[in-house]
Amino acid sequence: MEWTRKRLTRVAARPHPQAGQRIPRAWLARPAVQVAPALLGARLVRIEDDGSRTSGIIVETEAYGPEEDLGCHCRHGPTPRARALYAPPGRAYVYFTYGMHWLFNVVVAAEGVPAAVLVRALWPDAGLARIAARRGQRPPREWTDGPAKVCQALAIDGRFHGVDLCAAEARLFLEFAWQFPPETVTTGPRVGLNTVPEPWRSIPWRWRVVPPPR
DNA sequence: AGCACGATTAACT
DNA sequence: GTTAATCGTGCTC
């Protein structure tokens, strides 16, 4: 996509040494605070029913977990919903919120350790006609600039909850693609944790790629 | 059984 | 800046 290509140039993104290779499970077997920033520049790929690809470059993430993180769904232990957070790394944690939106996470850290990375934004990469159709008549910059918008654009819903993103036959997976210079990555508090106690409400566990001012 | 609230978005004023 | 939409989740009674 032209818009994405320009943005990649503007932030001086460099091809990842393993660009095009699937992200292995072992790479995800680390704490969420390590995996979340490392996932910036990775490609999230959805294989459609007709075999075509819809994808985007991850440009915003948040870290959740482990147990002591009162901003994480694991705060009440392995409840029916949160049990997926305790799964082996590489599974999808997809949940429904506000009565209408799906949010997509990658389960990380060792099995039994509740942790995940929320994918909050992408730069559209492939399958643009499908993304445009799913996101309506909106400017491209608003296609995938929020966690529920990402799920709309790639048609990710509860059917993907718990699936193994590292399986060879996966219809949803991650691959290495780009690397962003550190000065283009900003951090800040996680979004939307309005009733979460400190320090969890303000801890800077959100990472975002921001083009420099001209 | 009832309740408060949510890792949000789009459409308002 | 404010607010409706809309229902699953987990807590309290």
A139-150 pLDDT tens trace:
999 999 999 999
Residue nearest to nucleotide B7 (CA to C1'): A192
A50 Cβ within 7 A of any nucleic strand C atom: no
Q: State the Cα–Cα distance between residues A86 and A213, nearest whole angstrom.
A: 41
**Residues of chain A (72-111) having a beta carbon less than 7 angstroms from strand C:** 73, 76, 79-82, 95-96, 98-100
Q: State the Cα–Cα distance between residues A191 and A172, nearest whole angstrom.
A: 25
Q: Å from A176 (CA) to C2 (C1')?
A: 41
Residue A38, both tokens: 């490392």
Q: State the Cα–Cα distance between residues A121 and A99, nearest whole angstrom.
A: 21
Nucleotide nearest A76, from its CA to each C1' = C10
Q: Which nucleotides of C are covered by protein (CB under 7 A)?
A: 5-11
Which stretches of chain A drop beneath a pLDDT of 70?
A: 214
Burial of A92 (0-12, 13-18, 19+ CB in 10 A): buried
The pLDDT, as a whole number, for residue A92 is 98
The pLDDT, as a whole number, for residue A70 is 98
Nucleotide nearest A83, from its CA to each C1' = C9
The pLDDT, as a whole number, for residue A211 is 85
The domain made up of A14-179+190-204 has a fold known as 3-methyladenine DNA Glycosylase; Chain A (3.10.300)
Under 8 Å between Cβ of A65 and A115: yes
Under 8 Å between Cβ of A108 and A29: yes
